Chain A
Amino acid sequence: MRLSDTLQFASGSLRGSPTRTLLMMLAMAIGVAAVVVLTALGEGARRYVVDQFASLGTNLVIVLPGRTETSGVGPGLMSGQTPREITLDDAQALLRSRAIKRFAPLTVGSASLSRGALNREVVVLGSTSELLAVRHMEMAVGRFLPGGDIHDTASVCVLGNQMKRELFGNEQAVGQWVRLGDRRFRVIGVMSSQGESMGMRTDDLVIIPVASSHQLFNTSGLYRILVEAKHRDAIGQVTKDAESILVERHSGERDVTVITQDAVLQTFDRILGALTMAVGGIAAISLVVAGVLIMNVMLIAVAQRVKEIGLLKALGAPGKQIRQLFFAEAALLSAIGSVAGLALGHAGSFIIGQFYPSLPVSPPWWAVIAATATALGTGILFSVWPARRAARLDPVAALAGK
């Protein structure tokens, strides 16, 4: 028997009982759609987190003062010293490394910001012009901190979007003067609203030049240095270089910690990836249920078509061919059911994406393949028994309808 004839015959017998066929396809389709939608959600969550990290800056290496020792007592503690702070000159020295594209030093402090009678307690970030590029931030109006000498103590500031609204309302802010602590600063720009990015709201910040912040808070150290590697593969080199440069500058003492964003990101990636797999696996159970349903209906089909099977045997069909006919039926059912399920699942993901635009909902390719394969697999697997039963029917009894 030719393959095309087998498929045609099988599709003919499926069309012969349309209600049953439709119900089975529906079960298959729901199973596949469940896998697609649930994995799409899991994958969406994973990509959301990854994107959040990316918005924090790509290829980022963060240098912070002090060293977290996991064993023993640090030398600083032995001598009763606090770890040496990282200075602006330390930060600038980092540019000796070829792997580093740019860096942004960071200080954090809190001061009261006032304009006339309006007064707000704000978080003050001290940094340089590079921060804009390193953190992937955007300006709404005006410009960001000026470039030039890192030690320049210009009295200019950039306001977060919310701060601007609270102090100026709808008025023009750029060019106006505000008071920050005991100094006056001229507003040169306003950040665009960016919502939250990994716990840091830029909307209610004030950003001033790093040297000015040192004066304002009477300090000389840095809270962090954000270092951007030239490319992803250079991150390892940057980590090594940053450490060796700073150790050298700190007279051989390892009193800085260098962490890569990659390590954190990979952990999240792994956790959420595993979660997606688990959710997809649970959804796959519905496919197995659909498979059991197919088996059930196939057994009924065998019982109903006993005479036809007897006839096929009398006309010269060996058991193998009968088996193939039933396999073909199951395969067709699962295949059409899977296609319908994929369409349903993609439609469902699309609708969810419309409701939660920030979640990048799209089913991962592996889930689509796995769902289809599982559907086809269970469909055929669960038709083994009915097909064998049909193939083993005694032709004489089958023809008599027994």
Chain B
Amino acid sequence: MIELQNVCRTFTVGDQQVAALRDIDLSFGAGEYISIMGPSGSGKSTMLNMLGLLDRPSSGTYLLDGGNVTDLNDEQLARVRREKIGFVFQSFHLVPRLTATQNVELPMILAGIPAGERKARVQVLMQSYGLADRVGHKPDQLSGGQRQRVAIARATVMNPAVLLADEPTGNLDQATGWEVLKLLEGLLEQGITLVLVTHDAEIGARARRRIHMLDGRILSDEQQAK
């Protein structure tokens, strides 16, 4: 479903070329649970941005659902992100002036889905994520766990094929962290592909497939036998 072929990504810092990703060859199937681990600077965030089409490879090819998305233009990329990819961030990235419901609605607004349908879909989602009594709250009236759940609702409201989570539990205490993680893992049953970037080995170990990165290279790629 996702296939990276020979992908490199180099940044220019001052007059130096810094390689964030070097010759990455990787492929995921649908419904896989992958954790990407590594120390900071290992390129795991760049990898996530690359998978989420927020960043373009300097060289190499990215195939998503069999289609080459390396050379798409801005509008086409946005469309693919909108329809196939969901993001969950460490710092939630909720729009502070919008209520929980409006935040969840945002991707559908961008996609031009009519208001009636938006309301119905948000309501179902808020209910199943235990946020039914928080619909009218602004982000600053929500706890960290609730905020991340709103963010997950927003990431899944368009029924994406891939969910990319960047340290989703990083700003949460352990108990809420586990809750959020369970919520994310629950999505696997719906056939979503979950990619989890973390530097926490304990969390990373929960994934069936664990990828370790260092200096922009894949150090190890282990598949846990079930």
Contacts and interface: CB of A to CB of B under 8 A. Distances in A.
B97 A317 contact: no
B97 A313 contact: no
B107 A396 contact: no
Interface in A305-331: 307-308, 310-321
A311 B95 contact: yes
Interface residues of B, number: 29
Given A315-B82, A316-B107, A13 B112 contact: no
B78 A13 contact: no
A1 interface: yes
Contacts, number: 71
A1 B97 contact: no
A321 B158 CA distance: 18
Given A1-B110, A2-B112, A311-B95, A318 B74 contact: yes
A217 interface: no
**Most chain-B Cβ atoms within 10 A of its Cβ — which of A1, A2, A9, A318?**
A318
A17 to B, nearest CB: 9
A175 interface: no
A320 B77 CA distance: 12
A12 B95 CA distance: 11
Contacts of A311: 93, 95
A314 B109 contact: no
Given A15-B97, A315-B87, A318-B74, A395 B110 contact: no
B81 interface: yes
Nearest to B157: A315
Contacts of B74: 318-320
B75 interface: yes
B111 A316 contact: yes
B52 interface: yes
Given A395-B54, A396-B55, A316 B110 contact: yes
B83 A316 contact: yes
Contacts of B109: 1-2, 5, 9
Contact of B98 (A12, A313, A318, A396): A12
B92 to A, nearest CB: 10
A359 to B, nearest CB: 48
Given A13-B97, A307-B93, A319-B74, A314 B87 contact: yes
B210 interface: no
Given A5-B109, A396-B54, A399-B89, A316 B97 contact: no
Contacts of A312: 106, 110
A2 B109 CA distance: 7
B147 interface: no
Most buried by A among B75, B106, B154: B106
Contacts of A308: 95
Contacts of B111: 1, 316
Interface in A167-194: none
Interface of A, helix, strand, loop or mixed by DSSP: helix
B105 to A, nearest CB: 9
A16 interface: yes
A327 to B, nearest CB: 16
A319 B110 CA distance: 12
Given A5-B109, A399-B54, A318 B95 contact: no
Contacts of B95: 308, 311
Interface centre among A15, A310, A313, A316 (most CB of B within 10 A): A316
Interface string A11-25: 011011000000000
Contacts of B52: 314
A16 B154 contact: no
Interface string B100-128: 00000011011110110000000000000
Nearest to B155: A315
A316 B79 contact: yes
B6 interface: no
B49 interface: yes
Nearest to B158: A316
A367 B60 CA distance: 60
Contact of A321 (B80, B110, B154): B110
B11 to A, nearest CB: 10
Contacts of B87: 314-315
Contacts of A318: 74-75, 77-79
A317 B81 CA distance: 9
Interface string B34-61: 0000000000000001001011000000
B110 A396 contact: no
A13 B80 CA distance: 26
Interface of A: 1-2, 5, 9, 12-13, 15-16, 307-308, 310-321, 395-396, 399
5 contacts: A1-B111, A2-B109, A314-B54, A315-B82, A318-B74
Interface of B: 49, 52, 54-55, 74-75, 77-83, 87, 89, 93, 95, 97-98, 106-107, 109-112, 114-115, 154, 158
Given A1-B112, A313-B78, A314-B54, 8 more contacts: A1-B109, A5-B112, A12-B97, A311-B95, A315-B106, A318-B75, A319-B74, A395-B55
Closest 7 CB pairs between A and B? A316-B82, A318-B78, A16-B97, A318-B75, A316-B81, A395-B54, A315-B107
